[in-house]
Structure 1
Amino acid sequence: MTLTRTDPPHTPPRLRLLRERSVWIAAAGWLAGCAAVLAIAGDALPFDWPHDAHGTPGDRLVEFNTRLLEVLVLMGIVYWLTRRRPRPDLAARSPERAVALRETLGLLAYGAAGLGVGYVLARALGWHPFALHLAGSLYGTHDDVTPAEAVTWAVYNVVVYAAVPLLYFRRRYSSRELNLVSADRRGDAKVIAVILLIESAVQYLAMHPGTFDLGARQLALGLPLTFALYFAGAVLPAMVFIYCVLVPRFARLTGSTATTVILGGLTYAALHLWDAWTMFDSPAHAALSVLFLLATYFGPGMFKTWLTVRTGNAWVHVWAYHALAPHTLADTPLIARVFRLC
């Protein structure tokens, strides 16, 4: 697990990790966030979470720390599976530092503009603001989500965060430089199979309600429909925006795998800013919303980045830890309700 370019090759991976300032900052930030939740929230959270309606703030923190532990275990498994593979040099796939910085800042500003336009457009149509998740994902919702909203959300996201950036950067960089091709198909397939099996089991145990409690017709229609919507609305946007374009530039700018992984997690969390359950009607609610966005998405975002860093192939995270599990497995009941398949 080479974490910086300057570490001697004989240095044990855990020692290299402990020498990373970004790791200590991230760990301190996580602990500070947990303490802030307990200080701000009191006895209850303000969010509308039908799937987690009765948990206390302490219960939620235990759950999120358990999820983070799962992510760290999965990262260890991926390291073990890829330990004999040549390490992809993602920084070399990025342009020189000045260009990489300009492109990174430009893409982040573009992403922020995409969130802003998605907010205004969706609100103008009477819908939930467009972010990387459809309203009701993961936590459920009591709100009405229409088929028109779901389809427009998917089209908006795939155009803004996937098609436009890919068209722009593909004219300037090769498929390899954008992490779009595999250097070890058999190795990538092994990583995908192992992680998908583990995450599918985790999702099956955590389903609220269970996808496989649906009827045969609901499954026959709901599974492919959920896959298609989330592939367009969440999976491809995250893949192109973060793991094809930003991750190699993070690697170039930081010179650190650990910092690249952390920045990938933060960017992934930021793209979920308008999740339907978030509340920004008061400073306390805004602070809790940001803290729980980080608690929900920082770990998965780091793991998706880690998969890309270890394999050099952005498609690996798509099949191992995004398109099928969790989204198709977890969100089919939501899509069945949205499209009146129930």
Structure 2
Amino acid sequence: MNDNTDFHLLKSLKNKAFLMGISLWLIATFFYFLFVHKGLNVSPIAIDGLNSLLTIYMPVLVLAVFLLLYLTRKREEVNWAELYAVKKSSAKKEAWLSLIYLIITQLILGAGFNMGLHFPGTDIYSTGSHSQVDVWVWAITYTIIYTILPLIWLKRRGFSLKKLFSSFKWMRDLWIIIVYWAIDFFGPILVGSADFFGGISVSQYAQGVPLGILVNSLGAGLPVVVMMHIIFIPRIAVLLESRLLVVLFGGLFYSIFSLFDQGVDYSTLSTGLTSFTYIIMTQTLVGMGKATFTVVTGNPFIHFITLHIISARVPFDTRMYIEIFKLK
């Protein structure tokens, strides 16, 4: 793997896989803005998409993808086949199977039971709108479908968590964890998109933060770690030469995981179209950021800290869980 493959866009454009992946994102982005321009009803999550794209998601792409790939360009390659028990001969088939499994289960859980990757699914949370039972049903369901069952499948193929954990280089990657955690944790607070301070006691913080991390880990964090970072990314990585391509397809995979996030609305054709295209447009970029942490470190848990459960989800969700669990 060389720097030219990752950082010279003109060379990447000649790659058919890159063209396919970037075309999917460009088509979704084009149609989102076309639908908005034509006056289609916009779902709650897709309101003011241009501002969100420019102020939130493009910075993620620049800082968490391009900058991090550049800063780690001299690192040794991750031995995906050895650490993740991937056979190149079956990697393509298994990557497709994981994608199909994700699509089918997301359609069943999201469309059938309103369970998205993040609680409370497509609903907009308000005080009293959801119960503790709702939280645990979501967390347990996602744990079984996206963590336990896939890990059983992986174990039968020779995957060893012990071997993977022994390969982590936490001290080498500490600067990545600290810098990107701070950006993702304080960013939503500073721009006012997360209601984290005010009206919450020290006792409520002390209970609500770890409880939120626990349930979000079960319902969202570990499912993404296993499905995307332990199954999908390593199999794509043994097939593609470019880290940037692996990151791109990792981002597209994550966007499928996000199809039933809070604020999407598939009840009508117009809101469904704006929801779907907005999710692909924005969550592909978020997923690319998540994928980059694994691609450059070989550690599927780095993103869990820097760009997911222990970072932004804490200011986003703590108040909600304090209310639902009636913490005093």
The TM tier, using the shorter chain, reads 0.7 to 0.9
Structure 2 runs not aligned, ≥5 long: none
In structure 1, which of residues 41, 48, 60 is the aligned counterpart of residue 36 of structure 2? 41
Overall identity of the aligned pairs, in %? 22
Given the superposition, is the C-alpha separation of residues 176 and 77 from structure 1 closer, same or farther in structure 2, using an over 3 Å criterion? Answer: farther
1:95 aligns with 2:95: no
Residue by residue over 1:58-105, the C-alpha shift from the partner in whole angstroms, topping out at 9 and shown as x without a partner, is x42122133232122222442354344312143565533441123223
Alignment correspondent of 1:125: none
Alignment correspondent of 1:171: 156
Residue by residue over 1:115-162, the C-alpha shift from the partner in whole angstroms, topping out at 9 and shown as x without a partner, is 24424763xxxxxx112111279x943481221111110111111101
1:322 aligns with 2:308: yes
Between 180-189 and 299-308, the greater mean CA deviation after superposition: 180-189
TM-score, reference length from structure 1: 0.82
TM-score, reference length from structure 2: 0.85
Asked if 2 retains the 8 angstrom alpha-carbon contact of 1:68 and 1:299, the reply is yes
RMSD, aligned α-carbons: 3.0
In structure 2, which of residues 278, 282, 296 is the aligned counterpart of residue 296 of structure 1? 282
Alignment correspondent of 1:5: none
Alignment correspondent of 2:56: 67
SS in 2 for 1:69: helix
**Distance in 1 (alpha carbons) for counterparts of 2:34 and 2:112:** 35
SS in 2 for 1:174: coil
**Distance in 2 (alpha carbons) for counterparts of 1:182 and 1:81:** 21
**Distance in 2 (alpha carbons) for counterparts of 1:179 and 1:233:** 22
Given the superposition, is the C-alpha separation of residues 180 and 157 from structure 1 closer, same or farther in structure 2, using an over 3 Å criterion? Answer: farther
1:196-275 → structure 2 map (5 Å cutoff): 196-216=181-201, 217-275=203-261
SS in 2 for 1:296: helix
Which residue type is aligned with residue 47 of structure 1? Answer: S
Asked if 1 retains the 8 angstrom alpha-carbon contact of 2:25 and 2:284, the reply is no
**Distance in 1 (alpha carbons) for counterparts of 2:20 and 2:190:** 33
**Distance in 2 (alpha carbons) for counterparts of 1:74 and 1:275:** 22
Which residue type is aligned with residue 42 of structure 2? Answer: P
**Distance in 2 (alpha carbons) for counterparts of 1:65 and 1:26:** 21
Given the superposition, is the C-alpha separation of residues 324 and 187 from structure 1 closer, same or farther in structure 2, using an over 3 Å criterion? Answer: same
Alignment correspondent of 1:19: 12
Give how far 1:170 is off.
2.3
1:336 aligns with 2:326: no
1:16-165 → structure 2 map (5 Å cutoff): 18-20=11-13, 21=15, 22-23=17-18, 26-27=21-22, 29-42=24-37, 45-48=41-44, 57=47, 59-71=48-60, 72-90=62-80, 93=84, 95-119=86-110, 122=113, 129-135=114-120, 140-142=124-126, 144-165=129-150
Which runs of structure 1 show a deviation greater than 6 angstroms over 4 or more consecutive aligned residues? none
**Number of residue pairs matched by the alignment:** 321
Structure 1 runs not aligned, ≥5 long: 3-8, 123-128
Give how far 1:223 is off.
0.9
Given the superposition, is the C-alpha separation of residues 30 and 168 from structure 1 closer, same or farther in structure 2, using an over 3 Å criterion? Answer: closer
